[in-house]
Structure 1
Amino acid sequence: MKPSLQLKLGQQLTMTPQLQQAIRLLQLPALELQAHIRELLETNVMLEPDEAEASGTFEVAVTAAEQPKPPERATESTVEVLEEGWGDHSVGPAETPWSGDEDERHQEYVDESGKSLQDHLMWQLELAGLAPRELAVARAIVDAISDDGYLTESLAEIAHTLRPELECSTEEVHGVLERVQTLDPPGIGARSVAECIELQLRQLDPATPGFGTALQIARAHLELVAQRELTLLRRELRATEEELDAALALVRSCHPRPGATVCAGSAQYVVPDVFVRRTEHGWGVEINPATLPRVRLNQGYASLIGRNASHASMRAQLQEARWLLKSLEIRHETLMKVARSIVERQTAFLEQGEEHMRPMILKDIAEAVAMHESTVSRVTSGKYMHTPRGVFELRYFFSSQVEGADGSGTSSTAIRAKIRKLVKEEDADAPLSDGRIAELLSVEGIPVARRTVAKYREAMGIAASNERRRAGLKQM
């Protein structure tokens, strides 16, 4: 075969560095964005924090051409844009400018005790008067206890970790473990849920009604309790209904994760990216100024750059700084467009609650803002909206739909809310079954199957009708 030259034309999409940076900033949550900007301020001399005062907020009225809804509907709310003025070289608010001493100015009010479960246990062991050898074994046992309070290593493994400093048998480790299991909180150091519950039950007076039956349940019948096979459980234990009820009450009073009562962990706070509030014209949408670090070009360094070859690295940093500012502006505009479009479609939810949530998918918002679905997905991931009804992730407003008899669709979120309302308003003596709830929803024009109702009910943590009836009888 003779070699030959061929000319072929083709097109391909190339991800430029600018596009890659814009996509990366678009999907960053607020806290990660602030950390990223802080890193860039330390590495790029062409960027500097901007602490100048901004002009404040202003309102941009939505014109009739921008409204996707017909103007003749009197009940339709107008969505306004309440946003910060953006300069050519800076982004972010003036109220919370970023600076190097930000960590000193902003304090995070969290639990400063810093006491872990291991610290709590060692404090008790040091007061227990153990011999040095027993205290060393006890320390190894405590190190093998998880934050939930369970022993995560076998006795043989604990004995092996003590070597060669200390030679001890598994029987000796077991003896020290029994001492550790007497510490606070009750149930600590257990190797299984059954042992954990038994340790807590043994803290009670043996004369407590149902004590013996509760121990039998903890040792061998927890699976029947989890499956709610109470009839089979009563037959296995040969106990009366009163004895079983008393024993189950004791078992359910035990904590399955005793370690969590000591090291509950610090609260995780959510910083909303968008504020939605009522205005005299309808609803207003505003980017949270605290989520946008204020940064600008360092004009002093930028003016010193010449055409000299020695300034090549400085010119590269200047170009990167301009790309960053442009990417941040694109992120701001895209987030505002998506949030505004969501509010326009979910006005009924904001005004009347979950039962009026409209079905909406990524494609609906993508078509409204003339963007790709993947872009909308990046914007809504990890971003939160503060509304009069609470703080919600932007993804919360997207849900599938169930086609109604008249051809209209109902959001799955609205169906869950209706099921929750029906259960809340039901007669405690005659709880609604899944089939009856499906019938009531069908009357409202929402044809759903019984298994769909059961799936939504279980997802919301609502017990079945027979269990709700049993719980109602016990409260009488």
Structure 2
Amino acid sequence: MAISLNTRVSQQVSLTPQLQQSIKLLQLSNNELEQELAKAAEDNPLLEFEPNPEMESNLTPSSAQMDGTQNHWSNNRVSQDDDEDWGERYERVAHKQTLLEYLEEQIHLLNISPEEQSLLAYLAGCLDERGYLLDDLETIQVDLGTQSPEINSKKVMEVALEKLQSLDPPGIGANCLAQCLSLQIDRVLLNPPPDKANWELAKLIVTKHLSMVGTRDWQKLRKVCGKSEAEILKAVAHIRGLQHNPGAQFELESDQWVLPDVMVKLKRGRWVVESNPNAKPRISLNNEYTRILKEHGQKKIDGPLKQKMLEASWLVKNIAQREETILKVAHEIVLRQQQFFSMGAVGMKPLVLREIAEAVEMHESTISRVTTQKYLACQLGIFEFKHFFSSQLSSEKGGAISSTAIQALIKKIVEEESPKKPISDTKITELLSEQGYIVARRTVAKYRDMLRIPPVHLRKT
């Protein structure tokens, strides 16, 4: 048996411990952060941690309960002259498991290195609410490389994306609808079904001729695919059975207590953001240990103790950075949504993550983490940061209105209708048009479903 030495070059992803910790802390809710800090203090004697008494007490929920998607502010309105400290109020909200949480559960079970797990978790955080990865890998690599220079290979990013796309639900990590459907078909073909040929035809259609499915141009599909109309229709039936938005299914609800991260108050005619002192993490370096270490000098500290000191310092620094980032993002949100805090949902303006990302000079994936499970308290109630982001619709006046505001208008129209003669979606579209808002009837129907308002024939009494 010959023994020899060989040189092998390989590419490996490596995120610094500081970056891994920073990313992890940023996406934690207040409740999760409390648990994380308690565990860190147990493992590191150089840390001093004081449990938050607000989180330890078993308080009675307030009368208003937010479900994370609907605005019940009218039942929870507080006078502007009321001196109540909103930061001391808990509210019970129905927490919906997010796509990111579901993916992270799977990532932790993969037999890969902690560094690779961190990279996969970062990519998962870049997905939009549908489960699509709209940013190209080069952009993500550059953004991540500024924090962790070791990630300098596009191949590493591609391998990580492939692993992410292998997770459930099928279709996540795609950059467009065609790729999303193609990934789902690939998953079906891993264990070929009896009608394998139809699924392969479906794969051909979604990758090259998906637009023809939308136009229902079966004759042209037959020609380009060289198949009969019956075969085409069977393949199209398979395609229609696939999930277009893999992230839409994550609405598993469970009650949880929420302590708002920030408070919004009216000062000199403007709504401003303040940190909630009751939500501030109570973590610091142990003064006695720090004094002893300083007296003996850093060079005389042994390896394990020095490592504990570094870990403690990183944690305290990252907690401070987390607070600063949350406050900065909240400030930009409130700056753009002044009318909401005065008028409610009808005053909501269109807002996307990119606007906030550009304002605070951070990546959209970072803003996505900051706005998930972070809450603000105001006179209208307690809202998750994500509540303030919505798409833009046009108005005849040349301006724009948010989808949230349109939903509020639809809800108001339905509430004011006659129970004996409810208003149809077409009529709602006309009423909105009279107010200057251009909304398609199918869009009205979609928003009505999102508001859980039954169709017209079920509302009639």
Partner of 1:98: 51
TM-superposed deviation, 1:107: 3.2
- How far apart are the structure 2 equivalents of 1:433 and 1:447? 17
- How far apart are the structure 2 equivalents of 1:19 and 1:347? 34
SS at match of 1:315: helix
The answer to whether the Cα contact below 8 Å between 1:110 and 1:266 also exists between their aligned partners in 2 is no
The answer to whether the Cα contact below 8 Å between 2:373 and 2:384 also exists between their aligned partners in 1 is yes
Aligned pairs (5 A) from 1:127-146? none
Partner of 1:41: 41
- One-letter identity of the residue aligned with 2:291: S
Q: CA offsets, 1:105-129, max 9 Å, x none? A: 9431579xxxxxxxxxxxxxxxxxx
Partner of 1:275: 263
- One-letter identity of the residue aligned with 2:411: R
Q: CA offsets, 1:421-460, max 9 Å, x none? A: 1112223443221111101111222111111111111221
TM-superposed deviation, 1:302: 2.6
- How far apart are the structure 2 equivalents of 1:414 and 1:371? 27
Q: CA offsets, 1:227-276, max 9 Å, x none? A: xxxxxxxxxxxxxxxxxxxxxxxxxxxxxxxxxxxxxx995322211111
- How far apart are the structure 2 equivalents of 1:285 and 1:449? 36
- How far apart are the structure 2 equivalents of 1:413 and 1:399? 6
Go from structure 1 to structure 2 and tell me whether the alpha carbon gap of 1:322 and 1:310 turns closer, same or farther (over 3 Å shift): closer
- One-letter identity of the residue aligned with 2:58: E
TM-superposed deviation, 1:277: 1.7
TM-superposed deviation, 1:405: 3.1
Q: CA offsets, 1:34-90, max 9 Å, x none? A: 1111111111121124xxxxxxxxxxxxxxxxxxxxxxxxxxxxxxxxxxxxxxxxx
- How far apart are the structure 2 equivalents of 1:307 and 1:401? 56
- How far apart are the structure 1 equivalents of 2:265 and 2:436? 32
Greater Rg by CA: 1
Go from structure 1 to structure 2 and tell me whether the alpha carbon gap of 1:465 and 1:310 turns closer, same or farther (over 3 Å shift): closer
Partner of 1:380: 371
Go from structure 1 to structure 2 and tell me whether the alpha carbon gap of 1:296 and 1:307 turns closer, same or farther (over 3 Å shift): closer
Partner of 2:331: 340
Partner of 1:71: none
TM-superposed deviation, 1:387: 1.3
Partner of 2:399: 408
2:254 is aligned with 1:304 = no
The answer to whether the Cα contact below 8 Å between 1:457 and 1:463 also exists between their aligned partners in 2 is yes
Go from structure 1 to structure 2 and tell me whether the alpha carbon gap of 1:375 and 1:460 turns closer, same or farther (over 3 Å shift): same
2:319 is aligned with 1:328 = yes
- How far apart are the structure 2 equivalents of 1:329 and 1:439? 51
Go from structure 1 to structure 2 and tell me whether the alpha carbon gap of 1:285 and 1:426 turns closer, same or farther (over 3 Å shift): same
Aligned pairs (5 A) from 1:345-364? 345-364=336-355
- How far apart are the structure 2 equivalents of 1:36 and 1:374? 22
The answer to whether the Cα contact below 8 Å between 1:34 and 1:292 also exists between their aligned partners in 2 is no
Partner of 1:86: none
- How far apart are the structure 1 equivalents of 2:386 and 2:40? 29
- How far apart are the structure 2 equivalents of 1:397 and 1:300? 45
Partner of 1:177: none
- One-letter identity of the residue aligned with 2:359: A
- How far apart are the structure 1 equivalents of 2:287 and 2:59? 37
- How far apart are the structure 1 equivalents of 2:24 and 2:441? 44
2:414 is aligned with 1:423 = yes
Go from structure 1 to structure 2 and tell me whether the alpha carbon gap of 1:407 and 1:270 turns closer, same or farther (over 3 Å shift): same
Partner of 2:444: 453
- How far apart are the structure 2 equivalents of 1:451 and 1:464? 12
TM-superposed deviation, 1:465: 2.4
Q: Could you tell me which of 92, 100, 107 is aligned with 2:57?
A: 107
SS at match of 1:278: strand
SS at match of 1:303: helix
The answer to whether the Cα contact below 8 Å between 1:404 and 1:445 also exists between their aligned partners in 2 is yes
- One-letter identity of the residue aligned with 1:108: N
Aligned pairs (5 A) from 1:6-405? 15-49=15-49, 97-98=50-51, 106-109=56-59, 268-305=256-293, 306=297, 311-405=302-396
- How far apart are the structure 1 equivalents of 2:298 and 2:379? 55
- How far apart are the structure 2 equivalents of 1:339 and 1:390? 15
The answer to whether the Cα contact below 8 Å between 2:351 and 2:389 also exists between their aligned partners in 1 is yes
Go from structure 1 to structure 2 and tell me whether the alpha carbon gap of 1:307 and 1:268 turns closer, same or farther (over 3 Å shift): closer
- How far apart are the structure 1 equivalents of 2:407 and 2:254? 31
The answer to whether the Cα contact below 8 Å between 2:396 and 2:438 also exists between their aligned partners in 1 is yes
Go from structure 1 to structure 2 and tell me whether the alpha carbon gap of 1:423 and 1:320 turns closer, same or farther (over 3 Å shift): same
- How far apart are the structure 2 equivalents of 1:308 and 1:365? 44
The answer to whether the Cα contact below 8 Å between 2:47 and 2:285 also exists between their aligned partners in 1 is yes
TM-superposed deviation, 1:284: 2.8
The answer to whether the Cα contact below 8 Å between 2:271 and 2:341 also exists between their aligned partners in 1 is no
- One-letter identity of the residue aligned with 1:359: P
The answer to whether the Cα contact below 8 Å between 1:31 and 1:291 also exists between their aligned partners in 2 is no
- How far apart are the structure 2 equivalents of 1:468 and 1:32? 42
Partner of 1:468: 459
The answer to whether the Cα contact below 8 Å between 1:34 and 1:291 also exists between their aligned partners in 2 is no
The answer to whether the Cα contact below 8 Å between 1:287 and 1:336 also exists between their aligned partners in 2 is yes
TM-superposed deviation, 1:412: 0.9
- How far apart are the structure 2 equivalents of 1:386 and 1:268? 16
TM-score w.r.t. length of structure 1:
0.50
- One-letter identity of the residue aligned with 1:42: E
Identity fraction in percent: 44
The answer to whether the Cα contact below 8 Å between 2:270 and 2:338 also exists between their aligned partners in 1 is no
- One-letter identity of the residue aligned with 2:350: P
Question: Would you say how many aligned residue pairs link Structure 1 and Structure 2?
Answer: 261
Name whichever of 17-26 and 332-341 sits farther off: 17-26
* Greater fraction of residues in helix: 2
Go from structure 1 to structure 2 and tell me whether the alpha carbon gap of 1:418 and 1:44 turns closer, same or farther (over 3 Å shift): same
- How far apart are the structure 1 equivalents of 2:292 and 2:373? 40
